[in-house]
């Protein structure tokens, strides 16, 4: 299976609807794919929201005894852990404890035991070194695989950008940085079918939980586009579909919003095209 | 409280629980008992089983709070996922799926919560129900069968006598549409 196959399985995984073998394959892939991990987290949020669909109009209240039982169970667990710690400490400190005298063994036995112990230690050390090398090699392989995937992704985006830009009738719009980030700059290209690609530079990294969102403003009404983030150099790109009503004489803008995107802009504007 | 603030408060509660703060566990229970109990009764269709699993879930939260990583998910999602997973395990253990088909009573109006007057849950319930209502019925049905009955895609295909490929496509399309519809509103569903 390839990366795209796993992407296609994530929504079902969030619903717990995959077969056991599929879950096993996916979990192996997730260990080395941060993109799928992040996407799965988003699907899990969507799946969790379904819990509200199970609520009655007047939600049922669990009996008050449930809360009391939970807290009592927690206290009992703490008491049992504390008692175990005390027992252990007393056993170690007890003045009645009489250590057994070590048995005197013949010298040959002692040297033999030492030699066997050293051999065992040597074997264990070799095993540890081999295990460590294997682990590092696997980590390196995972890192390289991720780099290859990123490079493939970039290549696909670049091809799509070239395809859109070279399509007859494609419009190019320039978005300039606002006072908030005057050095920021972006180009938006879109063909007659509304297929668009945006390339932005000079944007600061979005804070945790935030992302940049594209807006199409037609007739004074902002319509939401997709969200994107930038890399360490401040560059970011985005593929989107421009709605028909915004393909002519629209203004395009970019604001900072919650990472899941908003239906109308709430954050500060970083880039805007000329009207 | 704003959704972001509520989420930060939940994270703090879970961190306090990890440090052994019983009062924090009580506070988390008070905040989420209705949604978790609602989910459990919907899946298990038994008040008794739901109360039992709710206790198990909260004990699991107590023991596993230190494993919670806010970088990897929201507290709400963590709690609901844990609860659903326990409920489906219990459902399978009980072999109680047949009972779901029966219209067993869930009639305890006198035990309905006053907290409904705190419109938090009812607003969120409306947002999700409105979004589900916009999905084609066959997609909604598949999402409900998977989420509340714990059926896998092939079990759903068998139950609905529908090709497996069709079930997979409808499930994914339904989830994509649901995510779009909830969109920014998901932030408030926590």
Chain B nearest CA to A161, separation (Å): 25
Alpha-carbon distances, residue A252 vs A248, A256, B159 (angstroms): 11, 14, 48
**CA B31, CA B25: separation in Å to the nearest integer?**
10
3-state helix/strand/coil string of A156-187: HHHHHHHHHHCCCCCEEEEEEECCCCCCCEEE
Question: Range of B4's domain?
Answer: 1-96
Pair B89, B6 in one domain: yes
Q: Is residue B132 part of a domain?
A: yes
**CA A193, CA A244: separation in Å to the nearest integer?**
8
Q: Is residue B14 part of a domain?
A: yes
What confidence score (pLDDT) does residue B109 get?
40
Q: How many CB atoms lie within 10 A of CB B136?
A: 12
Task: Provide CB contacts within 8 A for A137, sequence distance 6+.
Answer: none
**CA A92, CA B93: separation in Å to the nearest integer?**
44
**CA B30, CA A21: separation in Å to the nearest integer?**
38
Interface of B with A in 113-172 (CB under 8 A): 113-116, 121-122, 124-125, 127-129, 132, 143-144, 146-148, 150-154, 156, 168, 171-172
Q: Is residue A42 part of a domain?
A: yes
Does residue A118 or residue A96 have the better pLDDT? A118
**CA B30, CA B50: separation in Å to the nearest integer?**
16
What confidence score (pLDDT) does residue B103 get?
42
- For the segment A52-81, the average pLDDT, to the nearest whole number, is 86
Q: Is residue A82 part of a domain?
A: no
Interface of B with A in 24-53 (CB under 8 A): 25-26, 29-30, 33-39, 41-43, 47, 50-51
Residue A251 has pLDDT above 50, yes or no: yes
**CA A158, CA A150: separation in Å to the nearest integer?**
12
Q: Is residue B110 part of a domain?
A: no
Q: Is residue B74 part of a domain?
A: yes
Residue B8, CA atoms < 13 Å, CB-side half-sphere: 7
Q: Is residue B107 part of a domain?
A: no
Residue A76 has pLDDT above 50, yes or no: yes
Split at pLDDT 50, 70, 90, the class of B184 is low
What confidence score (pLDDT) does residue B104 get?
44
Residues of chain B in contact with residue A50, where contact means CB-CB under 8 angstroms, are 128, 143-144, 147-148
Residue B155 has pLDDT above 80, yes or no: yes
Pair B154, B91 in one domain: no
What confidence score (pLDDT) does residue B113 get?
52
- Inspect the interface and report whether the beta carbons of B186 and A260 lie closer than 8 Å: yes
Query: What one-character-per-residue DSSP string does B101-131 give?
Result: HS------GGGB-GGGGSTHHHHHHHHHHHH
Tell me if B27 sits within 8 A of B134, measured CB to CB: no
Reduced to 3 DSSP states, what percent helix, strand and coil does chain A have, rounded to the nearest 5? 50, 20, 30
Q: Considering Cα of B106, then B48, then A58, then B125, what sign does the dihedral take?
A: negative
Chain A nearest CA to B128, separation (Å): 6
**CA B135, CA B168: separation in Å to the nearest integer?**
15
- Residue B59: phi and psi, rounded to 5, are -70, -35
CATH number for the domain spanning A256: value is 2.60.40
Pair B1, B72 in one domain: yes
- For the segment A129-145, the average pLDDT, to the nearest whole number, is 81
**CA A113, CA A102: separation in Å to the nearest integer?**
15
The count of domains in chain A is 2
Q: Is residue A10 part of a domain?
A: yes
Which of B72, B187, B189 minimises the CB distance to A41?
B72
- For the segment A194-207, the average pLDDT, to the nearest whole number, is 89
Give A225's DSSP letter: E
Task: Provide CB contacts within 8 A for B155, sequence distance 6+.
Answer: none
Query: What one-character-per-residue DSSP string does B30-78 give?
Result: HHHHHHHHHHHHHHH--HHHHHHHHHHHHHHHHHHGGG--TTT--HHHH
- How many A/B residue pairs have CB atoms within 8 Å? 192
Q: Is residue A179 part of a domain?
A: yes
Pair B138, B63 in one domain: no
Q: Is residue B111 part of a domain?
A: no
In this structure, chain B runs to a length of 190
Query: What one-character-per-residue DSSP string does A75-98 give?
Result: HHHHHHHHHHHHHHHHHHH-TT--
pLDDT digits (tens, 9 = 90+) for B116-139: 444 557 788 888 989 999 999 999
CATH number for the domain spanning B155: value is 1.10.10.10
**CA B190, CA B181: separation in Å to the nearest integer?**
16
Question: Range of A197's domain?
Answer: 171-273
Q: Is residue A129 part of a domain?
A: no
The count of domains in chain B is 2
Q: Is residue B103 part of a domain?
A: no
Residue B181, CA atoms < 13 Å, CB-side half-sphere: 19
Residue B105 has pLDDT above 60, yes or no: no
Q: Strand A236-241 relative to strand A210-218: parallel, antiparallel, unpaired?
A: unpaired
């Amino acid at each position: 299976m390839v990366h795209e196959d796993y992407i296609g399985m994530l929504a079902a995984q969030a619903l717990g609807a995959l077969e056991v073998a599929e879950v096993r394959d996916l979990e192996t892939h997730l260990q080395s794919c941060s993109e799928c991990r992040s996407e799965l987290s988003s699907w899990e949020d969507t799946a969790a929201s379904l819990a509200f669909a199970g609520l009655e109009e007047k939600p049922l209240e669990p009996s008050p005894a449930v809360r009391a039982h939970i807290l009592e169970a927690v206290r009992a667990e703490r008491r049992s852990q504390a008692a175990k710690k005390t027992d252990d400490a007393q056993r170690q400190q007890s003045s009645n404890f009489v250590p057994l005298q070590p048995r005197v063994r013949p010298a040959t036995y002692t040297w033999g035991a030492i030699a066997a112990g050293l051999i065992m230690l040597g074997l264990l050390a070799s095993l540890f070194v081999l295990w460590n090398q294997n682990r590092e090699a696997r980590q390196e392989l995972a890192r390289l695989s991720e780099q290859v995937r990123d490079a493939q992704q970039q290549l696909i985006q670049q091809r799509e950008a070239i395809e859109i830009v070279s399509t007859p009738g494609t419009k190019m719009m320039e978005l300039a940085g606002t006072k908030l980030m005057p050095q920021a700059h972006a180009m938006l290209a879109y063909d007659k079918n509304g297929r668009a690609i945006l390339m932005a530079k000079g944007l600061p990294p979005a804070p945790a939980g935030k992302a940049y969102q594209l807006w199409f403003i037609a007739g004074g009404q902002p319509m939401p586009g997709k969200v994107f983030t930038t890399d360490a150099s401040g560059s970011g790109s985005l593929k989107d579909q421009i709605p028909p009503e915004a393909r002519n004489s629209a203004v395009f803008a970019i604001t900072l919003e919650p990472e899941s995107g908003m239906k109308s802009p709430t954050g500060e504007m970083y880039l805007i095209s000329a009207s | 409280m704003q959704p972001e603030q509520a989420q930060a408060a939940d994270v703090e509660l879970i961190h306090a629980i990890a440090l052994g703060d019983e009062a924090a566990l009580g506070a988390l229970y008070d905040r989420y008992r209705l949604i978790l109990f609602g989910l459990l009764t919907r899946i298990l269709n038994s008040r008794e089983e739901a109360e039992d699993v709710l206790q198990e879930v909260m004990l699991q939260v107590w023991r596993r709070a230190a494993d919670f990583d806010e970088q990897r998910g929201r507290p709400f999602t963590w709690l609901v996922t844990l609860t659903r997973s326990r409920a489906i395990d219990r459902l399978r253990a009980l072999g109680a799926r047949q009972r779901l088909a029966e219209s067993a009573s869930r009639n305890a109006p006198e035990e309905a919560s006053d907290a409904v007057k705190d419109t938090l849950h009812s607003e969120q319930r409306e947002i999700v129900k409105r979004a589900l209502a916009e999905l084609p019925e066959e997609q909604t049905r598949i999402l409900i069968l998977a989420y509340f009955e714990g059926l896998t895609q092939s079990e759903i295909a068998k139950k609905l006598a529908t090709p497996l490929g069709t079930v997979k496509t409808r499930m994914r399309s339904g989830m994509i549409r649901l995510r779009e519809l909830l969109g920014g509103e998901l932030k408030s569903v926590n």
